[in-house]
Amino acid sequence: MNQFDLIIIGAGPGGYEAAIHAGKLGKKVAVVDCREAGGTCLNRGCIPTKTLLHSSELYHEIQNGAAIGVTAETVRADLPAMFARKNEVTAKLRAGIEALFKSAKVDFLRGKGQIVGPNTVTVTNDEGVQTYTADAIIAATGSVPARPPIPGLDLEGVMTSDELLEGTDRLFDSLTIIGGGVIGVEFATFFTDLGCKVNVVEGLDRLLPNMDKELGQNLAMILKKRGVNIQTNAMVAKVEKTETGMAVHYTQKDKPGVVESEVVLCAIGRSPYWQGLFAAGIEPETERRRLKVDEHFRTSVPGVWAIGDVSSKVQLAHVATAQGIACVDEICGLAPSQDLSLVPGCIYCRPEIASVGLTEAEAKERGLNVKVAKSLMSANGRTVIVDGDRGFMKLVADAETGKLLGAHLMCERATDMISQLSVAIANGLTVDQLRLPIRPHPTFEEAMTDALADLKKKLG
């Protein structure tokens, strides 16, 4: 039977979670993808990167263990082994997704999916072309690394994150990263841990320009202390091949500059990918290269919805997942179960960074009267025990109501702690309510008690 209730094109975190959710609701579902289950996040993004970061962090800790009484000899970083383990992790999780497809009775159709007409999809693979119909179609084709029109970005020796994650048999002597966003700082952390000389060139005024200003500033100080050469307000003009490697030329405050390295990583961002998704004659409305959708995830093409990176302003795996589930609920006439306006962001540098809600600057731009408090991790017992880097917890609250509006953490385990603050903001909890629970000692979370106490004083 080639008739389905729902066909989803794209097996990334948005597509596969939507498919499993729909399957559990009793819908006959098919997922189409010409690549592996799990999409970019599992195979070329979140999971591989964090797996490598875990390896590099362990290597870094062993190398610097003498400070806490642990001395190890003949420790070396085996890069091929790290990438092999990365492949094992992704393969294990991929197998888990395909098992979930089976349990939810979801058909996984391998091939290139294309929307060719109303409620009609073709799937092209080595065996030919098959045609399928469905009551609803969800586009979840994700994104690809952006390559802006900078001369030299197509040279051998310039990579994107996709290409870098395929693996390398040796550690580079030096690396220049174009882009100081999430992808850039995570790779800067990984390669610096392993002893590679790293340059970061960022066009805006700081690292992590889309997050609270202090996060990017503090991270820059930490990375510089580790030997990373960081150039901000630096617009890349061209990339050239030299006798010894690559040269990245940039302009900074109207003055030319250049950094040289063995290889270059282009980490400027990601572009929505929907090339070939629609057959000739079907022209969806777009907005800044994204598929344009309404508040119900519907595109301008009847019967077609879109979720995740291909249509969303926020390109995060957990956003795609939440949108996928919400989209299925919309199609099935169910009420949404999550607040899609409150999105936590996590960065797995060292120390970790996690943020949710409004920054102080965003609150002021909206005309809100806010109070802000910050607790330094240098006074936190657990941070001192693990010899952690400088960090902080910063909280933003409404000055009139005392409700928490934003939280910005830079500390160990920040990515695991941010959800409790997301819950607080989603439920309109006040500083007084957040101060009620006793936080155990010694924990990183204890610093939150100090930040809340300071915030309480400022609120009066």
Residues carrying an active site annotation: 441
Dihedral sign of CA atoms 276, 278, 283, 285 in order: negative
Tokens of 72: 């190890």
Q: Do 336 and 326 form a contact (C-beta atoms < 8 A)?
A: yes
- Cα separation, 79 vs 52, in Å, equals 9
Spatial CB neighbours of 268, under 8 Å, sequence gap ≥ 6: 146, 147, 148, 178, 179, 181
Tell me the one-letter amino acid at 360.
E
- Cα separation, 319 vs 315, in Å, equals 7
